[in-house]
Amino acid sequence: MTENNTTRRVAIVTGGSSGIGRETAARLGREGYAVAIAYGSSQAGAEQAVKEVERAGGRAIAVRADVADEAAVTALFDRVEQEFGGVDVVVNAAGIMPLAPLAELDLDVFDRIIRTNLRGTFVVDQQASRRVRDGGAIVNISSSLTLLARPGYSAYAASKGGVEAITLILARELRGRNITVNAVAPGPTATPLFLEGKPQELVDRIAAESPLERLGQPEDIAEIIAFLAGPARWINGQVIYANGGSAA
């Protein structure tokens, strides 16, 4: 085991090839973390994320893994422990967001949303609860849509409501381990996940809803995640709504 294996904190970031996950990986890299970029399909995005972490001063690898597949997630943790010596932080940023009114949403699409967003978080958290080292942190990504209740987002918001329940209960189940478990619930954030398929007029209207009169940026959310991953040791079992003051 190299010196870096024993001295660096190690993070796994799912959904690390784009959006909030990618920015979080780079942000942790600036803190000197070794980071595993877990991705589902975009190998090119994951490889670029690795370069961004390395430029920021961290070490990084990219690992393909279906977050809802228990064997794939187990293999992900195995690979990270082999490469870096252990796991201290897990960030669950993988997610999908197909939109439709409840009455029109295809149930196969609903099942995909639940499989990725809810089951995926559960499977990753299960491994994290067993393998994150004492003193570590688990950060799940929810959504302010659980409060904002915007039409068209019923399936997505339902999946994220489940993520919040998992977060609050797991924090209590890990009593005695000195591991914090929190969720960050972003509001509208300028990521490919949010922007895809939306006309500019709609994006501008949503941005104006916040008293700060803009969309969130991935770095806004990454800053909060990095805080929860490291110095925020007295924040535990909480959902942090990060939406610039948007109100339900």
Question: Could you read off the pLDDT of 191-228 as tens digits, one per residue?
Answer: 888 888 788 988 888 888 889 989 889 999 999 999 99
Please give the order of strands across the beta sheet that includes 239-242: 59-64, 34-39, 10-14, 87-92, 132-141, 180-186, 239-242
Confidence check: pLDDT of 11 > 80: yes
Q: Which of 167, 170, 169 is nearest to 182 (CA)?
A: 167
Q: Which long-range CB contacts under 8 A does 48-53 form with residues at least 24 apart?
A: 48/17, 48/22, 49/16, 49/17, 49/18, 49/21, 49/22, 49/25, 52/22, 52/25, 52/26, 53/25, 53/26, 53/28, 53/29
E strands, 111-163, are 132-141
Confidence check: pLDDT of 248 > 90: no
Total-model pTM: 0.93
Q: Which residue has the tokens 């967003």?
A: 117
Q: Which long-range CB contacts under 8 A does 45-49 form with residues at least 24 apart?
A: 45/17, 45/18, 46/16, 46/17, 48/17, 48/22, 49/16, 49/17, 49/18, 49/21, 49/22, 49/25
Q: What residue type is assigned to position 82 of the chain?
A: Q
Write down the pLDDT at residue 193: 80
The mean per-residue pLDDT over the stretch 12-30 comes to 95
Distance from C-alpha of 209 to C-alpha of 89, rounded to nearest angstrom:
33
Six-digit token string for 82: 């082999």
The mean per-residue pLDDT over the stretch 38-51 comes to 94
More confident residue, 112 or 195: 112
In percent, the amount of the chain with pLDDT more than 90 equals 82
The mean per-residue pLDDT over the stretch 159-177 comes to 98
- Output the CA torsion sign for 31, 132, 167, 60: positive
Confidence check: pLDDT of 4 > 60: no
Confidence check: pLDDT of 93 > 50: yes
The mean per-residue pLDDT over the stretch 231-237 comes to 96
The mean per-residue pLDDT over the stretch 96-108 comes to 96
Contact 217, 195 (CB under 8 A): no
The full set of domains in the chain, from first to last, is: 3-241 (3.40.50.720)
Confidence check: pLDDT of 6 > 70: no
Task: Identify whether 153 is a catalytic site residue.
Answer: no
Q: What residue type is assigned to position 45 of the chain?
A: G
Write down the pLDDT at residue 3: 40
Q: What residue type is assigned to position 15 of the chain?
A: G
The mean per-residue pLDDT over the stretch 43-58 comes to 93
The mean per-residue pLDDT over the stretch 8-31 comes to 95
Confidence grade of residue 104 (pLDDT, cut at 50, 70, 90): very high
Contact 171, 132 (CB under 8 A): no
Catalytic residue among 33, 39, 153, 156: 156
Q: What residue type is assigned to position 32 of the chain?
A: G
Write down the pLDDT at residue 198: 83
Write down the pLDDT at residue 190: 85
Tell me which of 106-110, 156-160, 216-220 is least confident.
216-220
Distance from C-alpha of 187 to C-alpha of 166, rounded to nearest angstrom:
20
Confidence check: pLDDT of 157 > 80: yes
